[in-house]
């Protein structure tokens, strides 16, 4: 692991699909190439999260953000006022958005931010691509505000830890969604709600996750395919498309991973569900997925997608 701040080596490692921890003004981030499905899957694996909560995509300037998402007038106002800085904006993904669907956990939206830490900006420019970065702590541990915190828990999982000293803000970015039904505050963070309201000129609704900090994904409207899912299926029945895994992939063109690799399976999960859905089939049978490593998160998401639909 590179221990010095060799920016070019870190950027190169990121482009090759490895993970790089880097400082931001809020907390240290565990960075992966946002356009590489497997790198994004490795971020979830390193975090040890039991579910796929969508990740924030980091870019070095607002122009790069505008290329990834559809920014409403309100979203633009907030971007201009607070970027670079501790604000993440959730906006609809652009049709040609190159960021992995896994980073959006299959949702049609994307969270984007431009951090203000000079080393974060230097790294993002050197990376020459958007970078997903959750806080660089294993699931359930507090967010890291020094490079030492990151090394303690994640040093075996990253190619480099860029050391930019202690994070000034020390809490995560404020998350605001701008999805057409007016701005909503999804997570309290580095920018106070009152400052956001001052810029917008009106109050924002709060749909905060903070009451359940370990389960933010629970409150999101989750991606579910139109087709009904049947899980733990050894083979398809009449009229079903089959999504295979490991040796159980011989029933049609779709497999999460023919070699039974859970990182590969996570990487293509949402993409394949979308693809199969697009054929118009009404039922998808899914092979059993092992319950270890990323298998827990994959099973979690499949169970939710298979659950009876509510209208919320």
Near Mg ion by CB under 5 A, which window of 134-142, 206-214, 275-283, 300-308?
A: 134-142
> Could you say which of 5, 35, 51, 173 contacts ligand TXA (CB under 6 A)?
173
> Could you say which of 62, 220, 224, 231 contacts ligand TXA (CB under 6 A)?
220
Q: Which does 209 bind (CB under 5 to 8 A by kind): Mg ion, ligand TXA, none?
A: ligand TXA
SS3 66: helix
> Could you say which of 5, 18, 36, 104 contacts ligand TXA (CB under 6 A)?
104
> Could you say which of 24, 100, 255, 299 contacts ligand TXA (CB under 6 A)?
24
Q: Which does 90 bind (CB under 5 to 8 A by kind): ligand TXA, Mg ion, none?
A: ligand TXA
Near Mg ion by CB under 5 A, which window of 10-18, 127-135, 222-230, 244-252?
A: 127-135
Instruction: Give yes or no for residue 172 binding ligand TXA (CB under 6 A).
Output: yes
Q: Which does 54 bind (CB under 5 to 8 A by kind): Mg ion, ligand TXA, none?
A: ligand TXA
In the complex with ligand TXA, which residue's Cβ is closer, 35 or 53?
Answer: 53
Edge-first strand order for the sheet with 56-58 is: 160-161, 20-22, 29-33, 131-132, 56-58, 109-113, 87-92, 174-177, 184-187, 205-206
In the complex with ligand TXA, which residue's Cβ is closer, 12 or 143?
Answer: 143
Please answer whether residues 115 and 25 qualify as being in contact, where contact means their C-beta atoms are separated by less than 8 angstroms. Answer: yes
> Could you say which of 34, 127, 133, 227 contacts ligand TXA (CB under 6 A)?
133
In the complex with ligand TXA, which residue's Cβ is closer, 86 or 225?
Answer: 86
> Could you say which of 40, 75, 90, 127 contacts ligand TXA (CB under 6 A)?
90
Q: Which residues contact 289 (CB under 8 A, 6 or more apart)?
A: 245, 256, 262, 265, 295, 298, 299, 302
**Exposed / middle / buried, residue 212 (Cβ in 10 Å: 0-12, 13-18, 19+):** exposed
Distances (CA, A) of 303 to 201, 232, 234, 247, 286: 41, 10, 17, 22, 11
The upper half-sphere exposure of residue 283, i.e. CA atoms within 13 Å in the direction of its Cβ, equals 10
Neighbours of 162 (CB within 10 A): 25
Neighbours of 299 (CB within 10 A): 19
Instruction: Give yes or no for residue 26 binding ligand TXA (CB under 6 A).
Output: yes
> Could you say which of 5, 135, 257, 299 contacts Mg ion (CB under 5 A)?
135
Residue 43: left (phi > 0), alpha (psi -120 to 50), or beta? Answer: alpha
Query: Can you tell me which residue has the tokens 């989750």?
Result: 222
Maximal C-alpha separation, the chain: 60
In the complex with Mg ion, which residue's Cβ is closer, 135 or 299?
Answer: 135
Q: Which two tokens stand for residue 138?
A: 């294993």
List of residues contacting ligand TXA (CB under 6 A): 24, 26-27, 29, 53-56, 86, 88, 90, 104, 107, 109-111, 115, 133-135, 172-173, 175, 177, 186-187, 209, 216, 220
List of residues contacting Mg ion (CB under 5 A): 135
């Amino acid at each position: 692991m590179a221990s010095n701040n060799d920016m070019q080596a870190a950027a190169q490692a990121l482009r090759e699909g490895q993970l790089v921890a880097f400082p931001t003004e809020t907390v240290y981030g565990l960075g992966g190439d946002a356009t590489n499905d497997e790198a994004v899957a490795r971020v979830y694996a390193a975090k040890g999260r039991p579910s796929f909560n969508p990740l924030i995509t980091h870019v070095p300037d607002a122009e790069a953000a505008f290329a990834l998402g559809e920014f409403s007038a309100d979203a633009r106002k907030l971007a201009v006022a607070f970027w670079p800085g501790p604000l993440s904006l959730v906006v609809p993904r652009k049709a040609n958005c190159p960021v992995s669907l896994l980073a959006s956990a299959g949702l049609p939206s994307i969270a984007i931010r431009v951090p203000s830490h000079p080393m974060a900006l230097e790294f993002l420019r050197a990376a020459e691509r958007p970078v997903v970065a959750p806080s660089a702590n294993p699931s359930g541990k507090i967010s890291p505000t020094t490079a030492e915190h990151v090394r303690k828990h994640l040093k075996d999982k990253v190619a480099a830890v860029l050391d930019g000293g202690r994070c000034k803000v020390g809490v995560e970015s404020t998350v605001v969604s701008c999805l057409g039904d007016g701005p909503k505050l999804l997570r309290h963070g580095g920018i106070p709600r009152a400052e956001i309201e001052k810029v917008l000129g009106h109050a924002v609704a709060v749909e905060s996750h903070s009451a359940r900090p370990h389960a933010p994904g629970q409150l999101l409207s989750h991606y579910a395919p139109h087709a009904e899912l049947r899980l733990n299926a050894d083979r398809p029945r009449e009229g079903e498309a089959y999504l295979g895994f490991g040796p159980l992939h011989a029933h049609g063109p779709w497999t999460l991973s023919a070699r039974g690799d859970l990182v590969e399976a996570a990487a293509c999960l949402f993409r394949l569900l979308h693809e199969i859905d697009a054929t118009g089939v009404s039922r998808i049978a899914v092979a059993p997925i092992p319950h270890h490593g990323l298998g827990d998160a994959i099973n979690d998401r499949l169970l939710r997608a298979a659950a009876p639909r509510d209208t919320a």
